[in-house]
Chain A
């Protein structure tokens, strides 16, 4: 389970590391020959793994966080952090407290049920729950950004509870 989560995190990290995201916009009637720029966001490898080199303390701490968990899962229509994730959030708070220059990005997500813009609200609520927990544990406002994708960026395809439960989540991401 942990391994698949980690793969998901790495995969989305790779995807997010891609090229410019500006969509190709096309005037109506100008034909539909749409270029492919920005289509392949997955570069060749993640490029962040430095084998054979000494890991900095910060890198080692990040590795440990990835091992602990970068995703917080939620119950249906809920935004409370469940007991099993309290220690995960606390570990991220400790890391941010010890690395004041680091910024964290919290991506809130919802499962696909119900209307899309309302689900943007549910994803936001989850991202805010994690944000508040971090703030309460000493992380500063300037260190945190949040975004809600609602049901627009599912982690798992499918129309059953197994997929839904993996999609109701907050993904914790550290930029450069």
Chain B
């Protein structure tokens, strides 16, 4: 069921000392040619880091017969390149192909100006089983920084390569890699009133796309369960909004809220037992509630006559951050889950702050912020309340943090089409993920996979 993967590399020469764009790397991921032809994601680094770290990821050796079943090094180098923090050496510039530390002539790699080198091999272990062995070295002093042997099935080699990339990234940056994670998003094809909506899950690099749900009626607001095994989302399939929880592996689906009026903005509590959500009564007053998934006990959290929606939990599960227009325009507030009378306004800067998402360390909120007439992604520091605009579009929305906190993914527009974009938390590295046709939007980054 694997689709063909073509990687078109249009790499302009790296200009190491310029302040602007370092290089562009275009990965065209052709996935699931037949059913997902329209949803192919094209991943493009739109701005890299000027001081990206040069690293050589040497093609891995294969100790079996015939050709290697998978190009592990290509996945690792691709992950590191897309992070924007690394500049992998091109293969055609490699004058040697060591597959173990003992074979590395460090002098050569110093000459090629690589700061680090990763080498390895794929060792057949009988039948479908292999072992991926890799080692990471500092080229300047020859020091061995990491090395591991990872067992893997043939089908699991892509995931294993992402895991190796995670380890190399963490070793060299101090930040856990998020290459083994996934994203969910909504795609929409067709023109009004004949649209087709799909909920799609893909690897963080856009590969392995799977349609999770497909409908002629809108779907929106997908969110991952804390264990990464399920998605909650809103579907209008019954011509009114309802919230569903769908287990990814089995496809089993449960309707968890279909009350009169709006059922929207689901948000999982950190322990996975509750959903925060938005309901409107018959008179249309949107308020935030919590819902116990086991007991169906519903607890009202907000009592204002305005729009209260888009809840998100604090890390300890004791507070909810949400959007409210009780002051006349949308701003972020927090409320204590055990005492809804304890309410505090969080944002004061600007006339529009909405759709908060909490950073993995719990110290910042990503929000949609109106910035001189443009809707942009901004970071609100919960300590200092300082607001920092991160994105540069006109119509940016739906921010979601990578589980390592290093990157945000969000929805933006490119020549009128909905595309996804990522930006590093320092604003220096950006990339764009666009479908070949139609709109993609509402990206949500999965938690780290269970180990």
Q: Known contacts A38-B216, A118-B330, A121-B307; is A149 also within 8 Å of B192 by CB?
A: no
* Interface check A168, CB cutoff 8 A: no
State the Cβ distance, A19 to closest chain B Cβ, in Å: 9
Residues B310 and A117 in contact, CB atoms below 8 Å apart: yes
Q: A148 — which chain B residues lie within 8 A by C-beta?
A: 241, 262, 280
* Interface check A87, CB cutoff 8 A: no
* Interface check B205, CB cutoff 8 A: no
Residues A149 and B236 in contact, CB atoms below 8 Å apart: yes
Q: B368 — which chain A residues lie within 8 A by C-beta?
A: 114-115
Q: A41 — which chain B residues lie within 8 A by C-beta?
A: 194, 216
A24 to B35, CA, bound (A): 13
* Interface check B334, CB cutoff 8 A: no
State the Cβ distance, A22 to closest chain B Cβ, in Å: 5
Residues A21 and B239 in contact, CB atoms below 8 Å apart: yes
Residues B251 and A28 in contact, CB atoms below 8 Å apart: yes
Query: For window 204-258 of chain B, which residues contact chain A by CB distance below 8 Å?
Result: 209-221, 235-241, 246, 248-253
A26 to B250, CA, bound (A): 8
**Which chain A residue shows the least CB distance to B356?**
A115
**Which chain B residue shows the least CB distance to A41?**
B216
Q: A159 — which chain B residues lie within 8 A by C-beta?
A: 395, 413, 416
Query: For window 1-48 of chain A, which residues contact chain B by CB distance below 8 Å?
Result: 8, 11-12, 15-16, 18, 21-34, 38-39, 41-42
Most buried by B among A39, A116, A131: A116
Residues B216 and A32 in contact, CB atoms below 8 Å apart: no
Using an 8 Å CB-CB cutoff, how does the interface string of A46-79 with B read, 1 for contact, 0 for none? 0000000000000000000000000000000000
Q: Known contacts A42-B194, A149-B218; is A124 also within 8 Å of B280 by CB?
A: yes
* Interface check B193, CB cutoff 8 A: yes
Residues A127 and B284 in contact, CB atoms below 8 Å apart: yes
State the Cβ distance, A135 to closest chain B Cβ, in Å: 10
Interface size class of A (residues with CB under 8 A): 35 or more
* Interface check B261, CB cutoff 8 A: yes
Q: A31 — which chain B residues lie within 8 A by C-beta?
A: 1
* Interface check B379, CB cutoff 8 A: no
Residues A23 and B395 in contact, CB atoms below 8 Å apart: no
* Interface check A88, CB cutoff 8 A: no
Residues A28 and B395 in contact, CB atoms below 8 Å apart: no
State the Cβ distance, A86 to closest chain B Cβ, in Å: 20
Q: Known contacts A117-B278, A127-B284, A141-B282; is A32 also within 8 Å of B36 by CB?
A: yes
Interface size class of B (residues with CB under 8 A): 35 or more
* Interface check A125, CB cutoff 8 A: yes
A25 to B1, CA, bound (A): 18
A25 to B191, CA, bound (A): 23
Contact among B35, B193, B309 with A118 in the assembled complex (CB-CB below 8 Å) = B309
Q: B236 — which chain A residues lie within 8 A by C-beta?
A: 21, 147, 149, 152
State the Cβ distance, A25 to closest chain B Cβ, in Å: 5
State the Cβ distance, B72 to closest chain A Cβ, in Å: 22
Using an 8 Å CB-CB cutoff, how does the interface string of A85-128 with B read, 1 for contact, 0 for none? 00000000000000000000000000011111110111011011
A127 to B282, CA, bound (A): 11
Residues B375 and A155 in contact, CB atoms below 8 Å apart: no
A156 to B209, CA, bound (A): 29
A155 to B195, CA, bound (A): 11
Q: Known contacts A25-B253, A27-B251, A32-B211; is A121 also within 8 Å of B216 by CB?
A: no
Query: For window 1-27 of chain B, which residues contact chain A by CB distance below 8 Å?
Result: 1
A175 to B220, CA, bound (A): 25
* Interface check B84, CB cutoff 8 A: no
* Interface check B323, CB cutoff 8 A: yes
Q: A22 — which chain B residues lie within 8 A by C-beta?
A: 215, 237
Residues B284 and A113 in contact, CB atoms below 8 Å apart: no
Residues A39 and B196 in contact, CB atoms below 8 Å apart: yes
Contact among A21, A113, A146 with B215 in the assembled complex (CB-CB below 8 Å) = A21
State the Cβ distance, B184 to closest chain A Cβ, in Å: 11
Q: Known contacts A27-B249, A30-B251, A42-B194; is A118 also within 8 Å of B355 by CB?
A: yes
* Interface check B32, CB cutoff 8 A: yes
Residues B240 and A147 in contact, CB atoms below 8 Å apart: yes
State the Cβ distance, B410 to closest chain A Cβ, in Å: 11
**Which chain A residue shows the least CB distance to B282?**
A141
Residues A32 and B35 in contact, CB atoms below 8 Å apart: yes
A125 to B283, CA, bound (A): 9
Q: B135 — which chain A residues lie within 8 A by C-beta?
A: none
A157 to B282, CA, bound (A): 30
Q: Known contacts A117-B264, A159-B416; is A38 also within 8 Å of B1 by CB?
A: no
Most buried by B among A26, A127, A148, A159: A26
**Which chain A residue shows the least CB distance to B323?**
A118
* Interface check A83, CB cutoff 8 A: no
Residues A27 and B250 in contact, CB atoms below 8 Å apart: yes
Q: A23 — which chain B residues lie within 8 A by C-beta?
A: 197, 213-217, 219, 235, 237
* Interface check B321, CB cutoff 8 A: no
* Interface check B40, CB cutoff 8 A: no
* Interface check B397, CB cutoff 8 A: yes
Among all A-B residue pairs, the 7 with the closest Cβ atoms: A27-B251, A23-B215, A121-B307, A128-B284, A152-B218, A115-B355, A28-B248
Q: List 11 A–B pairs whose Cβ atoms lie within 8 Å, in order of A's numbering.
A: A12-B193, A23-B214, A24-B213, A28-B210, A32-B36, A115-B310, A117-B309, A120-B262, A124-B280, A152-B220, A155-B193
| Known contacts A21-B237, A30-B251, A32-B1; 15 further A-B pairs (Cβ under 8 A) | A23-B216, A27-B252, A29-B210, A32-B36, A116-B220, A116-B398, A117-B310, A118-B309, A118-B323, A121-B309, A147-B236, A147-B239, A152-B218, A155-B193, A156-B192
